[in-house]
Structures are given as structure tokens and as C-alpha cells.
Structure 1
Amino acid sequence: MTILDKYILKRYLVTFSVMLLLFIPIGIMVHLSEQYNKMQDNEAPLNEILMYLGNFSIYIGSMLLPIFLFLSVIFFTSKLAGNTEIVAMLSSGISYGRFLRPYLMGAVIVAAFMLLMGMFIVPNASKGFNEFKFKYLKKGKQDRVTENIFNQLNANDFIYVSRFDPTRDIGYNFSMEHFNKDNVLEYKLSAANIRWIEADSIYRLTSYVKRTLKGDTEILETKRRLDTVFPFKINDLTPVSYVAETKNLFELNEFIANEKRKGASNINTYILVKYKRWTMPITAFILTLIAVAVSSQKRRGGMGVNLAFGILVAFVYIFFDRVFGTLAEQSGFSPLLAVIVPNVLFGFLAFYLLQKAKR
């Protein structure tokens, strides 16, 4: 690594770190000022508030990492261009591609950091962030579907509850149907309610009825109360809307496989979360290249023009990301294409701007 590489790489990483340290605390203070009254009204304990703010900084910071990176590269590269340092570098015989090398080295470091954060650190922060939000900031609002819940456990078993109360771990008007390999109903369980008993790790059925079909014969079994076990967790009845965000790499892969096997209708939402984690490092490279191409030339308007253009590009990127993400979640659009298309479009933009900057 040459002196030039060390010089640019140091500026790259230091500017990015300083921008994070400056803007995340500002975001925390703004968010706290907006939500403090709700926290106070709902009597949120101080230790939970502090933990929530820590989770908030990780959760929001991870979402804005590409934008912070983009703006920080524009900022310090514009200063290099304004001081005529880039002109001196290129005039000494260094090619534009060689000039880009320390930027790409920095992008590798930041991409690895983003990948580690997204796969293992952010999921835990997301869980704490969302649990606090629905407990204190959106108290009374449900974080999941609670009415008319139908779920396929596997190829043979189907369950249904008319209403689920997540605060009490109880479902009402429960039924479970079991079919044989020929898709013929073998038996059906029904109960007025199903409750999860945490202390004993069992399910308690009230007004239990089991109808078993054997040819033309129907065997009826009834009990006022039955304690039993089932091959599902109580939260499988209706997982929280943000469940995919709270799982690390290995847990998410297993969760998606289980949901596919059960035929979950919102599987695209979970797959989209997975693909976004993998494409985040690619985004770091693309935005780095765009930022360098835009800000490596000395302009009449100086850094202000470059930052204005950078903010515009950031908003356009977020717009495309949201549009394609919504298409994947609410229609049959492929989640893979939803994350690829914005990056491909901005990849072409980066290539065009680099070619223009070289000339």
C-alpha cells in the first residue's frame, strides 16, 4: 500500500466514521423529542428507554449506512478536488483507475462491516426496537394479524383460529385438520380456545372435540379440557410483521424454509429481507463509484453543488428501492429482481459517470 493509498483510505474511513458519530446522535435526539411524551404517558422504564435508544441507533444507522457512505465520499473527495490535489495526482501520471483503488479498498472494508451488521447485529437490535415500539409507542396497536388466521403446518396438517390474543397466548375457535397421503381427511380437532401454558410447555384446549373418520364410521371424542402438545409454537399461529428482521443469517434461512413448506402467503416479504442483506455491500461499491465520479472534478459551485447532486441521487435511490420492495411484498414481483433492478440501474449510472469523469 503506497502513501497515496493510505492517505485516501484514511480520509475515506475517518470521514465516514465522523459522519456516523455526528448524525446518529442527532437522529436519536430528534426521535426522543418526538416520542418522549408517549414514553412518559405509557410509563416506560428508564432502563428500557436507554436500551431502546441503543437499538434505535443500530437499527436506523444500518438503514442509512449507504447514504452516510455516499455523502461522506462526496464530502472529502470534493475537498480534495477543491484543493487541486486530484489534479496533481492525475498529472503525476497516475491513471484514473489507479486513483480509484484506495476508494475500492475502503468500500471493501465498509461492505464487510455492513454485511456483518446486517447478518448478525442488526436483527437483535431490530427485535428490541420493534418490541419497545409496539409496547410503548404504539400501545394498543397490533404488530400482527389477529383475526381469521389460517396456517398450514406441513403437507398434512392445517390449523385455524378465528382470533388470537398475543398478550395472553390464547386463540379462540381453534380447529386442526389432518389429511392422509391421499388427501383424505382422517380427523379434525376443535376447541373453544387454545392456550399456551408456559410453565408446563403444553397447550390447553377447552371444550375439546375430536372427530375421527374411518371409512363410513365417525368416532367422536369430547373432553371439557385437554392438555396436549402440538408440532408448532404458539407464535407460529401469526408471527409478528417484522419477524424476518429479527433473525440472523442462519435463523432467517431456516425460517424461510419452514414458511415455504407451510405455503405462507407473505413469503416474498421474508425473502426480500434476506436478499436486501446480501445486496447491501454491493450498494456500498456502487455508491462509492458514483460519489467519486461526481466529486472528483473541481466545479464552479464547489462542494455545495456536489452535495446537492448527492442528496438528489440518494433520494432517487431510496425511491426505487421502496417502489420495487413494495411490488415484491404486495404483488407477484420477484424479490430477487426487486433488489437487483435498482442496483443494476445505479451500476450503469456509476459506469457512465466514471467514463465521463475520466474524459
Structure 2
Amino acid sequence: MSTTSFTLHATDGKARTGVISTPRGEIRTPAFMPVGTAATVKAMLPEQVRSTGADILLGNTYHLMLRPTAERIARLGGLHQFMNWDRPILTDSGGFQVMSLADLRKLTEEGVSFRSHIDGSKHMLTPERSMEIQRLLGSDIVMCFDECPALPADRKRLEESMRLSMRWAQRSRDAFGDRPGHMLFGIQQGGLEPDLREESAKALTQIGFDGYAVGGLAVGEGQEAMFGCLDHAPDTLPVDKPRYLMGVGKPDDIVGAVKRGIDMMDCVLPTRSGRTGQAFTRRGVVNIKNARHADDPRPLDEHCSCPACTGYSRAYLHHVFRSHEMISGMLLTWHNLQYFQDIMDGMRGAIAEGRFDAWEAVFHAGRAEGDIERL
């Protein structure tokens, strides 16, 4: 029988490194999951994503249930086969996208009814339906269905929302059933209120999950407030299970989250930024569209091993972006994903060797330097 497990290899302060084992392969933590919204990491081939060091991808339940539908993907052999990615996939529950994208949504105890943002068709998403969709997709890590209120929100709204999410967590657990080789993660809610976070953690731990997410952050509260919450929220979750911070984030958000005990993250930032001409480097963010790069023969980042940096100049990257050439988004996305995975690799090594603080100091110092002097 194929099973899943989480092994913690080392800690340094609150920072942790370990491995999540699944039948489809190992996920080294801390892990950054590139987002493959519609069964593709935009502008990348699966083998290219893998070459950056990604062990796992994220797929979006909401987008896939609407197009091409979970039933169609199941008939075609499941999401892994459909998108040609044979390693682990985590799918979100659809709840966050319904709240942020769908039209005319209505929230009840049962679930959320909404109209598709694509064609206006009517749908109902419940904990049970979310579990069914994720089972049809065949994802390795399934997220329970929750409600994520935007911040700032008043305490009463946060309280009601969190308790509804906890009732939905129990229903998700019941509907998920026994699926060896697949993991179900619960999602902690409670906004920025420490006592609500604690209440949520207790409820989830009582239900029992294979991993726990810190949900409801990176929704407009700002980095200081997010870190304030992360100073205590991960500590309320079981030590022997993976902790996943949903939808984060910028490089310094990721480093700050790992420092506070987070094991997994995902974000559209490296791919979306790549398509808009933004590159993340060891010396901060570079806007390739700026005229200063037009005659620059140097690479984007001389320490990076990605094709954008080893094969092309800033001048070329500037030119193809300005010319709206597809290769621009491809190269900059590849670079950004490589940089994010290099950060994760650096942190895993530093935690294992007990030198996380020193690694973090070098990371921040490099970014504070700013981009190389213009020619």
C-alpha cells in the first residue's frame, strides 16, 4: 500500500527542513510550489519547471472545474497525465477563487453558489463537491474547502467565517474518506486574531489532517501584519505535520515565513512578473522594460544558471519584451522560477547546517544593494 509521510530532518530556530514522501516522489521542504492554474505553469514546459528544482506544482480546482471540467480530466487519465507532470500536485479547494473571481456568489451553510466568470453558468461548490473534484483530478495533496474573508474584516465577521470553515473542514474530512497515497490538509483561519487562530488550530487538530495550512493571509494585510500573525500561528499547529502558507509570496515574504516555521508556499508572482517584464534577482527586482538595459551586454544575474542568464544579455531580454515576443515571457518566467527555487535550496542547506541566520543576512544584504550599476 502506497503511503505518505512527513519527516523533519533539521531545525534552526523555528525554521525547519524535511521531506514529504508521496507515491509520486519526495517534496523537499521548505518547498515553493509554482502555480499551474489551468493545468499549465504559464510559458513553461513541465520538464523545464522540474529543471529549476520544483518537486511539486499547484493546480486550481475552481479553474479546472469550469474548464475543461474535472470529469473530462478524469476521463483523460487524471491531471498528472493530462498536463504531463508525473510528480506530486497539490490542488486548492476552489474557495478562494470563488470569493475573488466568481460572479453573483451566495454563501450559505451548505456551500457557495456562483456564476462562472467564463460563461455565466451556474455552479454550487460545497465541501463534498470540492473533495469530489479533487479526487477526479487525482491530486496528491487535497485542500479542505474553506471560506477566506478579505482583510481587514471586523472580528465578528472573522469569527463567523472561521467557525463556518471549521464545520466545512469536518465535512471535507468525512467526504475525503480513506485514500491511501493521498493527503488532506486542513486550513487554519481567524484573520489576525491570535485567539481565533488558536481556536481554529484546535478544531483542525481534533478532526485530524495530514498537513495544515495557514490560510487567510496575503489578502491585503501587509507584510508586517502577516509576520505578526506568523510569529504565533504556526506554533499552534502540530509539529510533526507540514505547514503550508497559502498564496505567498515575494522573496522576502518567503524567507520570513520559513524563519517562522512554514514548510510550503505557492504564489503566481514569479510567473506573472515574468510575463510583465519583472525579474527577481539576488540584488532585488529588475524591470527589463527600462531603457537602461537596451545596450547592456551583461546577463540579468551572473550567479544564475537559468537559460535567460546563461544564454542571453539584458539588451536581448529588453528587446524581446519591447517587441512583445513570446520568448520574453518564457525566459523571464524560467529565470524567476529558478531564482525562487534557488532561495528554497539555499534555505534547506542553511537550516540543515544550522546557519540560517547567516544565510538570511546575506540574502537581505544582497537585495539591499540594488541592481548592478548601469553601463
- TM-score, structure 1 length as denominator? 0.30
- TM-score, structure 2 length as denominator? 0.29
Relative to its length, the structure with more helix (as a share) is 1
